[in-house]
Structure 1
Amino acid sequence: MSNYYIHKLADVQSENIGCNTRVWQFVVVLNKAVIGKDCNICANVFIENDVIVGDRVTIKNGVQLWDGLRIDDDVFIGPNVTFTNDRFPRSKCFPDKFPITTIKKGASIGGGAVILPGIHIGEHAMIGAGTIVTHNIPSYAVVIGNPIRILRYTTK
């Protein structure tokens, strides 16, 4: 008997799913992925093998988490956020190792944002919807746009 919920239309190959996590329909989780407790993985999410998701993370619909992604606790990822993991992608040509992208504790990423490979998003940073993140974001920064700009800093 598991202590998490997996929708009957999800394909979850990993056994590393934390208690009270909910995985909804049309989600695919590959076998080496690690997902923490109390997470909500919404419909149409794909999670690759070399991905670690912390506790109490919300991943909204239409997000793909590619190899090299590290998500800390209490992170919110809005609908259709796009992560990338290859700086110079070519068909059938893979890097020896994918860059590590880190999303630190309490960060929020608005819907439709694009996160380039190897980026570090600091604690409690807030990324506006549609923002294209091309460089590291400091903790507590509120950022928007393309090119990205810091609007202000938040206390949490």
Structure 2
Amino acid sequence: MKLIYVLGIGHNTPVFIDLALACGYKIAGLYHYNNERTGNIDHGFKVLGSFDDLLAQPSLGGKCFLLTMGDNEIRFQLCKKIINKDGCVPSLIHPTCVISHFADISPVGVYISPFTYVQADSVIGDNTVLLSHVNISHNTKIGKNCFIAGGSTIGAYTTVEDFVFVGQGVLSISSKVNNIGHHSYIGAGSLITHDISSESIVVGRPARIFKKSI
């Protein structure tokens, strides 16, 4: 059983801990963004220190880390710093998932929660999170550092660019949506029937641009 250290303490943390345990890891301890909780016990695991304490180490020596924060940018930056110090951010796929033999899933920081489907000839990029009951249809590419919340379906032949956040229960229609631009935010329950430009916030059924996110 391999050890894994958990970064981030919040409401989602035990959800990701469950995923790591289901994938055969043992939790070695937690790190918080600051020192306020150092020495505390959270969900039965000790808080070992802050992110700064961890990254002050000269090398992380092949240790494994689990990044539990929902913010795509923070997760990306931490992943990069850990890898630069020779740490490992492994991909975790829950055993109840159905993953096509023909899907290409990055070995770096991808988390796939229970009962999610990734169909044939789809690609999942580094450091992307797919929560429970997500369906990634065939011939679809999900970029790096994305977060797709539970119950969402991304239709076939779609490219989702980097740093996209998809809320709960979003439906993107196959062959109608070719591209969802980088740094876009898709509101929960939205129905996507056309391409979404980069840095957009879209909501509704059908989805309409609410405002530019940047």
- Give the residue type in structure 2 aligned to 1:134: T
After the TM superposition, list the runs of 4 or more consecutive aligned residues in structure 1 that deviate by more than 4 angstroms.
Answer: none
Aligned with residue 7 of structure 1, among 23, 45, 51 = 23
Q: Which runs of 5+ in 2 are unaligned?
A: 3-19, 25-88
- Give the residue type in structure 2 aligned to 1:137: I
Aligned residue in 2 for 1:153: 212
Q: Distance in 2 between matches of 1:117 and 1:69?
A: 9
Q: CA deviation at 1:117?
A: 1.5
Q: CA deviation at 1:84?
A: 2.9
Residue 30 (str. 1) matches residue 100 (str. 2): yes
Partner SS for 1:26: coil
Ranked by relative contact order (alpha carbons within 8 Å, sequence separation 6 or more), the top structure is: 1
Bigger Cα Rg: 2
TM-score if structure 2 supplies the norm length? 0.57
Question: Equivalent residues in 2 for 1:123-142 (5 A)?
Answer: 123-142=182-201
CA RMSD in angstroms comes to: 2.3
- Give the residue type in structure 2 aligned to 1:147: P
Q: Distance in 2 between matches of 1:69 and 1:79?
A: 18
Q: Distance in 1 between matches of 2:154 and 2:145?
A: 18
- Give the residue type in structure 1 aligned to 2:198: S
Q: Distance in 2 between matches of 1:153 and 1:80?
A: 25
Q: Distance in 2 between matches of 1:121 and 1:127?
A: 9
Q: CA deviation at 1:25?
A: 3.4
Residue 61 (str. 1) matches residue 132 (str. 2): yes
Deviations 1:100-138 (A, max 9, x none): 201000011100010012321000000000000000000
> Higher helix fraction: Structure 1 or Structure 2?
2
Percent of paired sites with the same residue: 25
Q: State the aligned residue count.
A: 131
Q: CA deviation at 1:145?
A: 0.2
Are the equivalent residues in 1 in contact too, given 2:140–2:155 (CA < 8 A)? no
TM-score if structure 1 supplies the norm length? 0.77
Q: Which runs of 5+ in 1 are unaligned?
A: 9-18, 86-99
Aligned residue in 2 for 1:106: 163
Aligned with residue 115 of structure 2, among 36, 44, 55 = 44
Q: Distance in 1 between matches of 2:153 and 2:101?
A: 22
Q: Distance in 2 between matches of 1:105 and 1:34?
A: 16
